[in-house]
Amino acid sequence: MSRRVRKAVFPVAGLGTRFLPATKSMPKEMLTVVDKPLIQYALEEAKAAGIEQFIFVTGRGKSAMEDHFDHAFELEATLRARGKDELMEGARNSIPPAGQLFYTRQQQPLGLGHAVWCARHLVGDEPFAVLLPDDLVDAKTPCLRQMVDAYEGRGGNLVAVMDVPREHTKRYGVLAVGADDGRIAEVRGLVEKPDPADAPSTLSIIGRYILQPEIFTILDAGEKGAGGEIQLTDAMAKLIGRQPFHGLRFEGTRFDCGDKLGFLTANVALALARKDVGPGLREALGRLL
């Protein structure tokens, strides 16, 4: 029986340079899609998957995230005094219960693998999830919930994957695939950001992972890969053959909110689906287009 996934790591130390000047003094994870910051979407997805402990790997200038997931007593008192109870409850509902939120620092930008390694003592010797808030997945069943359900029947390591145009494989970790039933593919190899001509497939990893704690032993070596960084994909590749490893084609729409166009598209798509702002936005877009 697979060990239960109780902990999730959120690597949120990045500088967000693609969104300057907006991110000069604000974490990119606090950029809002409609009316919620990206980090809140990620945390809510993890919570819906049964995650009980939320581990943020942060860096300098990220204190706004800590404040967001805490009580704002003056704001709550003001909303209560004005009878805006619904807004007050909405602000409160974003806060995880006391003792479930943890923070650790990544002092140097040495790559995703290094960021995950920084959480090793908080994760301990148990399987864990990794969520990259830049990847927002709009799905009827939250993406990580789909992954946890698939993991419970297989164990080992599991990544969320999607097919991308071959010319885009150089942006992703790409799978070499074994047995494949159309939804879950056996992973026989992983290549980080391959040249499109050399990519073993177009099945690419997005920012959702379920990993076994043995990954930390590999990351301890601090080996650098593509871009001179410690790549999580390279460490995962060394687990292939030692542990079960699969890629899950999730159901839903993924928006790359680390990219300006992807971020804007996510705002439009999620806003159009809302009853409160959707009709007005559709009318406004009609006039603009």
pLDDT tens across 218-255, in order? 999 878 887 788 889 889 999 998 999 999 999 999 99
Q: Indicate whether 88 pLDDT > 80.
A: no
Q: Indicate whether 60 pLDDT > 80.
A: yes
Rounded Cα–Cα distance for residues 233 and 199 (Å): 14
Write down the pLDDT at residue 1: 57
Q: Indicate whether 287 pLDDT > 70.
A: yes
Q: How confident is the model at residue 78 (pLDDT cuts 50, 70, 90)?
A: confident
Residues 246-272: what's their mean pLDDT?
A: 96
Q: How far apart are the first and last CA of the chain?
A: 54
How does the average pLDDT of the chain come out, rounded? 91
Residue 257 or 222, more confident: 257
Find the angle CA(46)-CA(48)-CA(50) to the nearest 5 degrees.
75
Alpha helices (H) along 73-178:
73-81, 85-93, 112-117, 120-123, 143-152
Q: Indicate whether 89 pLDDT > 80.
A: no
Rounded Cα–Cα distance for residues 181 and 154 (Å): 14
Please report, rounded to a whole number, the percentage of residues in the chain having pLDDT higher than 90: 62
Q: Which strand (E) or helix (H) includes residue 158? A: strand 157-163
Residues 184-188: what's their mean pLDDT?
A: 93
Name the CA radius of gyration of the chain, rounded: 19
Q: pTM of the entire structure?
A: 0.92
Write down the pLDDT at residue 72: 79
Alpha helices (H) along the chain:
38-48, 63-68, 73-81, 85-93, 112-117, 120-123, 143-152, 215-219, 232-237, 260-272, 278-288
Q: Indicate whether 193 pLDDT > 90.
A: no
Q: How confident is the model at residue 182 (pLDDT cuts 50, 70, 90)?
A: confident
Alpha helices (H) along 97-205:
112-117, 120-123, 143-152
User: For 65-79, 81-95, 99-113, which range has the lowest pLDDT when averaged over its residues?
Assistant: 81-95
Cβ distance 244 to 157 under 8 Å?
A: yes
102-146 pLDDT per residue, tens: 999 998 888 999 999 999 999 999 999 999 999 999 999 999 999
10-32 pLDDT per residue, tens: 999 988 889 989 888 889 999 99
Question: What CATH class does 7-258 carry?
Answer: alpha beta
Burial of 252 (0-12, 13-18, 19+ CB in 10 A): middle
Q: Indicate whether 158 pLDDT > 70.
A: yes
| Beta partners for residue 200, in sequence order | none
